[in-house]
Amino acid sequence: MPLSRMPVVKLHLTAAAASLHAEAMECGGQLPANAERVAHLVDDALRGASRES
C-alpha cells in the first residue's frame, strides 16, 4: 500500500501561507497583486487538501 504524500503537501502549503502572511505584515497588511493571487491559490489548495483528508 503506497504512503500518502498529502501530509507533506499540507506542510509545504502551510509554510507558503505563513510566508505570504509574514510578507503581508511587512508590507503594511497589503500584498502586491501577484503575491495576493498566489496567496489565494495557496488558500484554495489548503482547503482542497483538507477536504481530501
Which tens digit of pLDDT belongs to each residue from 24-50? 999 898 888 999 999 999 999 999 988
26: which 3 cell numbers? 511587512
Q: Which residue has the higher pLDDT, 52 or 41?
A: 41
Least confident of 5-9, 16-20, 36-40: 5-9
List, in sequence order, every beta strand (DSSP E) within the chain.
Answer: none
The pLDDT, as a whole number, for residue 53 is 64
> Is the predicted pLDDT of residue 22 greater than 60, yes or no?
yes
User: What global pTM score does this model have?
Assistant: 0.79
Q: Which residue has the higher pLDDT, 3 or 1?
A: 3
